[in-house]
Amino acid sequence: METVELLKELAVPAETKIVLLVMDGLGGLPHPETGLTELETARTPNLDALARQASLGLTTPIAPGVTPGSAPAHLALFGYDAVKYQIGRGVLSAVGVGLDIKPEDVACRINFATMENGLITDRRAGRIPTEEAARLCQRLREIRLPGVEIIIEPEMQHRAVVILRGPGLSEHVSDTDPQVTGRPPLPARALAPEAEATADLINRFIAEVNRALAGEPRANTILVRGFGRLPAIPSFNELYRLRAAVLAVYPMYRGLAKLVGMTELPAGKSFSDQVAAVKQAWNDFDFFFIHVKGTDAAGEDGDFDRKVREIEAVDGLLPELLALNPDVLVVTGDHSTPAALKGHSWHPVPVLLASRWARPNPWVDGFGETACLRGTLGHLRSRDLMGLMLAHAQRLKKFGA
């Protein structure tokens, strides 16, 4: 029996509140001059004080040595087996921006990118503003290919989502993102025989996009990734008996949460807005998933100091969440995004679990990777965190006689 199925059998309703605060890409690596990670460098008096009363540990999102994408890493935090429930990122983006995606559709996500002399020089086109991406999407909507309807919608900054609608489509197509600069974009390839036509369609679409964007100073091409269809996945309420809400600025994370049955709440544009929305909806839900993107974006940009500032900004508003007196507050990341690597990594992720039933760490004086290594939670899989949240919220009955 899978852990999630066991939790489904044991879950009981209760008048308790759980807050899962995810600072995307929270985990880091030591700065060469100080030996401290971004989290350890940040001035976080509120998190440090909470850490002395909470349980600390480290999580592995998927498996040791495996670098996760954002979707499987978050799915694991929600208690699901991310290897079993693989969801294309395009589907998450489509749901997140409110598109009506049908079971037979194939969705993918695109990054507007910069290409010079056939080589990718910026995989994110300088993180162009969402308004500029919307202008470019409007231009790309003029592209027509036989036998397929193409739906394009901006997501956020340099990201957009594409839905392909038509007969004979397959989601088994490879990404075109080379993942590094200085290389040409990859061709879309069929990962199964039935996907040959779809891969060819994507390559023709990219060629048309390149013609349409020729002359753009930054966003003159696209990188395509995350092909998928709507999945069949059990809902949060069905599994855990929780009325769950999501507060996420980025559409992809809203999409994932909505796919597992969470209710989308207005998240505004900042963590301050998210906290205000939680306060307003506090009596209506049992579980609040709050997603903070800035930490991950700074890590991907290789900006150590900016990631530090993003962590400090969250710490500054933490007392407002604590004032709501949640029965369980978990602060963690979905994965590590060290500024030194400028991308996601396989390194374990720090986690803090605060509850009146948590075993504290008397030898710990703050919240950071080294402190978490000595924490009472130990080293666990991300998907095991959901059971701990439910248990500390007294939402699990005893197993067996």
Domain end point (choices 177, 203, 228):
228
- Tell me, yes or no, whether 221 and 240 share the same domain: no
Which pLDDT score, from 0 to 100, does residue 138 have?
Answer: 93
Q: With contact defined as beta carbons under 8 Å apart, do 3 and 344 qualify?
A: no
Same domain as 309, residue 224: no
Residue with tokens 């909806």: 281
Closest by CA to 250, choosing from 274, 283, 277, 220, is 274
Counting every residue written for the chain, the total comes to: 401
pLDDT at 255: 86
Convert the pLDDT of each residue in 111-127 to its tens digit.
999 999 999 999 999 99
Residue 399 in domain:
no
pLDDT for 2: 78
How confident is the model over 178-223, as pLDDT tens digits? 989 999 999 999 999 999 999 999 999 999 999 999 989 999 999 9
pLDDT score, position 290: 97
112 contacts 136 by C-beta, under 8 angstroms:
yes
Q: 246 lies in a domain?
A: yes
Rounded (5°) CA angle 273-274-277: 90
**Of the candidates 82, 255, 23, the residue with the CA atom closest to the CA atom of residue 153:** 255
28-39: per-residue pLDDT in tens? 999 999 999 999
Q: What stretches of 85-233 adopt beta strand conformation (E)? A: 106-116, 119-122, 149-154, 159-165, 221-228
CA distance 53 to 200: 57
Percent of the chain with pLDDT over 70: 100
Please answer whether residues 188 and 202 qualify as being in contact, where contact means their C-beta atoms are separated by less than 8 angstroms: yes
Residue 170 and residue 70 in one domain: no
Whether residue 67 lies inside any domain: the answer is yes
The H-or-E segment that residue 213 falls in is: helix 196-213
Alpha carbon distance 401, 398 (integer Å)? 8
- What's the CATH code of the domain at 266? 3.40.720.10
Q: In what order do the strands lie in the sheet with 349-354?
A: 263-264, 244-248, 287-292, 18-23, 328-332, 349-354, 55-60, 378-381
Most confident segment among 78-87, 214-223, 256-265, 284-293: 284-293
Domain boundary among 228, 260, 277: 228
- Residue-wise pLDDT for 346-376, tens only, equals 999 999 999 999 999 888 889 999 999 999 9
Q: Last residue of a domain, which of 180, 195, 228?
A: 228
Q: pLDDT tens digit string along 89-106?
A: 888 888 888 888 888 999
How far does CA 381 lie from the centroid of its chain?
Answer: 17
* 139, 40: one domain: no
**Mean pLDDT computed over every residue of the chain:** 94
What is the CA 245 to chain-centroid distance, rounded? 15
**Residue 93 near residue 79 (C-beta atoms within 8 A):** no
For residue 316, being part of any structural domain is answered with: yes
Is there a single domain that holds both residue 97 and residue 66? no
247 and 336 co-located in one domain:
yes
End-to-end CA distance of the chain: 18
Continuous H helices in 214-332:
236-240, 251-259, 271-281, 294-300, 304-322
Furthest-apart CA atoms within the chain: distance in Å: 71
Per-residue pLDDT band for 272 (boundaries 50, 70, 90) equals very high
Of residues 98 and 74, more confidence is placed in 74
Q: Is residue 400 part of a domain?
A: no
Q: Is 27 or 1 the better-scoring residue by pLDDT?
A: 27
How far apart, in whole angstroms, are the C-alpha atoms of residue 157 and residue 58? 31
- Which residues are paired to 160 by β-bridges? 110, 154
Give the H or E element holding residue 135. helix 130-140
Residue 1 pLDDT grade (very low, low, confident, very high; cuts 50, 70, 90): low
Report the distance separating Cα 355 and Cα 122, nearest Å.
Answer: 44
Say if 333 falls within a structural domain: yes
Residue type, 293: K
**What pTM value is reported for the model?**
0.83
Residue 65's H or E segment, with its range, is none
Q: Report yes or no on 401 lying in a domain.
A: no
**Are residues 243 and 388 located together in one domain of the fold?**
yes
Task: With beta carbons less than 8 A apart as the criterion, state whether 7 and 240 touch.
Answer: yes
In a shared domain, residues 384 and 256: yes
Residue 91's alpha-carbon distances to 74, 231, 339, in angstroms, are: 15, 9, 28
Kindly state whether residues 243 and 378 are assigned to the same domain: yes
- Reported as a single tens digit per residue, the pLDDT across 235-261 is 999 999 999 999 999 888 988 898 899
Residues 216 and 201 placed together within one structural domain of the fold: yes
Q: Which domain holds residue 115?
A: 92-228
| Domains of the chain: total | 2
Look at 27-31, 50-54, 84-88 and tell me which has the smallest mean pLDDT.
Answer: 84-88
103 in the same domain as 15: no
On whether the CB atoms of residues 176 and 188 are closer than 8 A, the answer is yes
151 and 195 together in one domain: yes
Is residue 264 a part of any domain in this protein? yes
Q: Which residue has the tokens 């559709």?
A: 105
Q: What percent of the chain has pLDDT over 90?
A: 83
Tell which residue, 151, 74, 68, has the closest CA to residue 110: 151
